[in-house]
Structure 1
Amino acid sequence: MIFLILSTIGLLYFFDLWYWKRRNLPPGPIPLPLIGNLYLFREETKPGYKLWDNLRKKYGGVFTFWMANLPMVFVTDWKLIKQHLIKDGGNFVGRPEFPISMEIRKGAYGILESYGPRWVQARRFTLHILRDFGLGKNLMEQKVIGEVEKMLEILEKIGKSGVDMQNIFDASVGSIINSLLFGYRFDETNMHQFLELKARLNQHFKLGAEPIGTLTGMYPWLGRLPVLSNYKKATTDNWAALMKFFRQQVEEKLAIIDYDSEGNADYVDAFLKERKKNEDKEDFGGFEMEQLDSVCFDLWVAGMETTSNTLYWSLLFVLKHPEVLKKVYEELDQKVGSDRIITIADRNNLNYVNATINESQRLANLLPMNLSRTTTADVRNRGLPYPKRYKIFPEPYEFRPERFLEEGTGNLKKVEELCPFSIGKRQCPGEGLAKMELFLFFSNLFNKFRVEFHPDSADASIEKDFGLTVKARNYKVVMTKRY
């Protein structure tokens, strides 16, 4: 009798898991209890591109992949992506609530993981403040150029001794967003603090991408088990350290803020003043301290991680392709011809430099999958046919900036399928700043210095280290002044 009951329960469970829950979803691999489809992540499929491509070939342009107990629908065809995220974009602006995020963030706070009215308010307020600080104007360009000049000064002092550019890119780009958030940059007096925070952030992203990290993220109670406790503890400790850093800056602002002053010194200053205006409203009208903590994290990470990593990848790709390096120098010599600082006014004249940056973003492909969204209304495929597969980027693993140049004229061409900042209503609000940073750092670095691999890095690898954002393996370069 007991056997019959257990067998019946088992059959009902697997009927629910393998049929009932999947009946209205696009096709996909069969999920296993607890882990879903995470068993498909293997060393040979990291960082994920091969896995997604294999599933696309088997199940079509739209398929379902279970992240533990969460079904995620992947849309891999460009025409369908545009249909859903642009034409029907208003229905694709939600975010799933990942249990570990809800635990450490204390709710769906911030910009990246919030949704509904809170997300609308946070995005609108952030864009407003960034525009006040000069986003898209000369004021912001001057801030970026200031960090570019400081980077070039550091590299000139280092000379030919060799340097790993990762920390330098991190600190230079990180100083821009840190200045916008808190009003100060990173230098020799606080660099140790920055490097510690960056190390924690790297570990946070790496753990979050591993299947075991996903499991403890989806089932935080697993973190109480002896074998898995270290994974959850690392996640919560890293988050706590970052929050401690952000809250310390906020408390220092609270001690000196003048609520009656005109203008804002930085983002935190603006947020605290808005909080003061709404102090009589429930939850401060959406300007709670928990919201500020999460917004600081989102902006600090988004404003540094992708831009810095793209610069590091671009340097690696160019040095691994001497023919590209030669063309970059030829264009700089022809269009600039001196060691003056390159500005945004030069951007339209440096087509090959821009194409090289575009190709670096394409091939680096920092996010193996986009940030997930949830629908805010019932959505169907609307009967769209799955178009015949065509190659947007032939030989996709080859580094060829010419993909982004018009044949014959050499002018930069727009390729809409290159969308490293996502598309639709959830498109990155800092895209303009990131593009400016990439151009100014990249062009000025190569204009100022002749760059080559350090002898210790002659065999530098282009293999990607797995994480929520993929990283290049460390390498060193040697700088020689060109003028």
Structure 2
Amino acid sequence: MIFLILGVLTLLYLFHLFYWKRRNLPPGPLPLPLLGNLHLFTEDVKPGYKLWEKLRSQYGPVYTFWMSSLPMVLVTDWKLIKQHFIKDGANFVGRPEFPINMEIRKGPYGIIDSFGNRWVQQRRYAIHILRDFGLGKNLMEEKVLSEVVAMIDRLKGMKDDVDMQSIFDASVGSIINNLMFGYRFDESNMHEFLELKKRMNKHFKMAAEPMAGLVGMYPWLGNFPFFKPYKTVIVDNWTSMLKMFREQAEEKLATIDYDSDEYSDYVEAFLKERKKHEHEEGYGGFEMEQLDSVCFDLWVAGMETTSNTLYWSLLYVLLNPKVLERVYEELDTKIGSDRIITTTDRPNLNYINATINETQRLANLLPMNLPHATSADVVIAGYSIPKDTVIIPQISSVMYDPEIFPEPYEFRPERFLESDGSLKKVEEFVPFSIGKRQCLGEGLARMELFLFFSNLFNKFHIQFHESNPCPSVKKEMGITMKAAGYRVTMKERY
């Protein structure tokens, strides 16, 4: 009798696994118990681009991938992404609640992980404050250019055997830290930055591992020896960063002047807004936990992607001598001096803009875009997808689509130029994602990329250091894709 019961339970489980839980979803690979499809991340397909291409060829432009027990619908066709996430964007503004995130953040706080009224409120507030600080105006450009000048001055004293990743990290990190906390990084506090960066690197690298994805869905697995290192790295580094942000916020709390409506940084602005809501439940959405997570979101997103893109841009340009030659030629023709380049020069530097665009496309920093959740029942490509389903506009597949970008793994800035040399608008070029959850810092990031890139090459002749004459372009696995380390030498041009 026991064997009969076990046999029936086994059949019911297999029926549920192979059919029932998948019946209303787009096709996709068979999920394994507990793992889902995480086992497909073998070493030869990491960091994931090849896997997504393979699944698209097998199952079509809309398919289901199981992150452990969580089904995620990936939409890889540009026309479908445009039709739904852009034109019908209000139906795709949700966010899934990953258990590990909720455990660390203590709830769906911040901007990246929040949803519903909190997300609307906090995104709107963040945009409002960033605009007050000059986003899209000359004031913001001045802040960026001050770091560009500081970077140039620092490089003038180095010249040989330079690690530009650390230079970019500190420069871009100072911009976002100044916006968040009111100060930049220099010799007096560089140790603080290095500690933040060290923890961020560990977090981003470990969190991208398949086993970390499993721990993310089942945090209790971290109690077992095999899984414990994954959870320890993720939790310790994330919570340590949140703690560091909280300590700075509490320092401001001790000295803040509530009688003044002025504020010098984001944290001060948030704390003054929080004071206005102190008699409301949960401070009207301005809890300290919310501030912790917003600091994490803006600091990490504001530094990681821009710094890495600049590092990739230098690598790609130096590996392509003809591109390097055209960059210098355009600078000599259009600028012709060692003056600081500003955003007013942008319309005259089409080839440099095209080179930055091509870097963003080819670097393709997020192999899997951030997951959304449907906020209503939707139909995509004939598939009925219910409300609260995790869904991803897979823009990495779009930017490597050979029908849109022929020979997509080749570095060709000309893709973004018209025959007359003017800059071409390519709607499928969407490095900052799309829809209503598009990156709110896109304007700042575009400004930083242009000003750092153009001024760096205008000031210096750059080449690879003799220790690495031809570095690899293989991507290092992580939440965002890093280039392997390389060194350069520099010589002033004027």
- Where on the TM-score scale, by shorter chain, does this alignment land: which range? over 0.9
**CA distance 1:357–1:287, shift in 2 (3 Å):** same
Gaps in structure 1 of 5+ consecutive residues: none
**8 Å Cα contact 2:80-2:381 kept in structure 1:** no
- Corresponding position of 1:244: 243
- Corresponding position of 2:391: none
- Corresponding position of 1:450: 461
**Letter aligned with residue 406 of structure 2:** P
- Corresponding position of 2:435: 424
Q: Distance in 2 between matches of 1:76 and 1:228?
A: 32
Q: Distance in 2 between matches of 1:203 and 1:374?
A: 27
Q: Distance in 2 between matches of 1:245 and 1:456?
A: 37
Find the residue that maps to 1:244 and give its secondary structure.
helix
**Letter aligned with residue 284 of structure 1:** Y
TM-score, with normalisation over the residues of structure 1?
0.98
Percent identity, aligned pairs only, is 70
Superposition pairs of residues 2-17 of structure 1, within 5 angstroms? 2-17=2-17
**Letter aligned with residue 482 of structure 1:** R
Q: Distance in 1 between matches of 2:91 and 2:381?
A: 14
Q: CA deviation at 1:459?
A: 2.4
Superposition pairs of residues 297-446 of structure 1, within 5 angstroms? 297-381=296-380, 383=382, 391-407=403-419, 409-446=420-457
Find the residue that maps to 2:379 and give its secondary structure.
coil
Q: Distance in 2 between matches of 1:390 and 1:241?
A: 42
- Per-residue CA shift, 1:433-481, capped at 9, x if unaligned? 0000000000000000000000011121100001110100000000100
**CA distance 1:325–1:274, shift in 2 (3 Å):** same
**CA distance 1:230–1:382, shift in 2 (3 Å):** closer
Find the residue that maps to 2:204 and give its secondary structure.
helix
- Per-residue CA shift, 1:388-438, capped at 9, x if unaligned? x8710000000000000001x100011011101001000000000000000
- Corresponding position of 1:83: 83
Q: Distance in 2 between matches of 1:291 and 1:34?
A: 32
2:492 aligned with 1:481, yes or no?
A: yes
**8 Å Cα contact 2:62-2:381 kept in structure 1:** no
**CA distance 1:390–1:341, shift in 2 (3 Å):** closer
Bigger Cα displacement from structure 2, 199-208 vs 114-123: 199-208
- Per-residue CA shift, 1:21-72, capped at 9, x if unaligned? 1101000000000000011101111111110000000100100000100000
Q: Distance in 2 between matches of 1:351 and 1:401?
A: 10
Q: Distance in 1 between matches of 2:381 and 2:375?
A: 16
Find the residue that maps to 2:158 and give its secondary structure.
helix
**Letter aligned with residue 96 of structure 1:** P
Find the residue that maps to 1:24 and give its secondary structure.
coil
Find the residue that maps to 1:44 and give its secondary structure.
coil
Q: Distance in 2 between matches of 1:214 and 1:97?
A: 13
2:462 aligned with 1:463, yes or no?
A: no
- Corresponding position of 2:284: 285
Find the residue that maps to 1:45 and give its secondary structure.
coil
Question: In the comparison of the two structures, how many residue pairs are matched?
Answer: 477
Find the residue that maps to 1:353 and give its secondary structure.
helix
**Letter aligned with residue 85 of structure 1:** F
- Corresponding position of 2:211: 212
- Corresponding position of 1:18: 18
Q: Distance in 1 between matches of 2:331 and 2:361?
A: 22
Find the residue that maps to 2:44 and give its secondary structure.
helix
Q: Distance in 1 between matches of 2:480 and 2:170?
A: 18
**Letter aligned with residue 291 of structure 2:** L
Q: Distance in 2 between matches of 1:18 and 1:84?
A: 29
Q: Which runs of 4+ in 1 moved over 6 A?
A: none
Find the residue that maps to 1:168 and give its secondary structure.
helix
Q: Distance in 2 between matches of 1:193 and 1:253?
A: 17
Bigger Cα displacement from structure 2, 273-282 vs 237-246: 237-246
Q: CA deviation at 1:383?
A: 4.2
Find the residue that maps to 2:167 and give its secondary structure.
helix
What RMSD, in angstroms, separates the aligned Cα atoms of the two structures?
1.0
**Letter aligned with residue 290 of structure 2:** Q
**Letter aligned with residue 179 of structure 1:** N
Q: Distance in 2 between matches of 1:262 and 1:110?
A: 24
- Per-residue CA shift, 1:67-120, capped at 9, x if unaligned? 100000000000000111011100000000000000000000000010000000
Find the residue that maps to 1:455 and give its secondary structure.
coil
**Letter aligned with residue 278 of structure 1:** H
TM-score, with normalisation over the residues of structure 2?
0.95
Q: CA deviation at 1:382?
A: 6.0
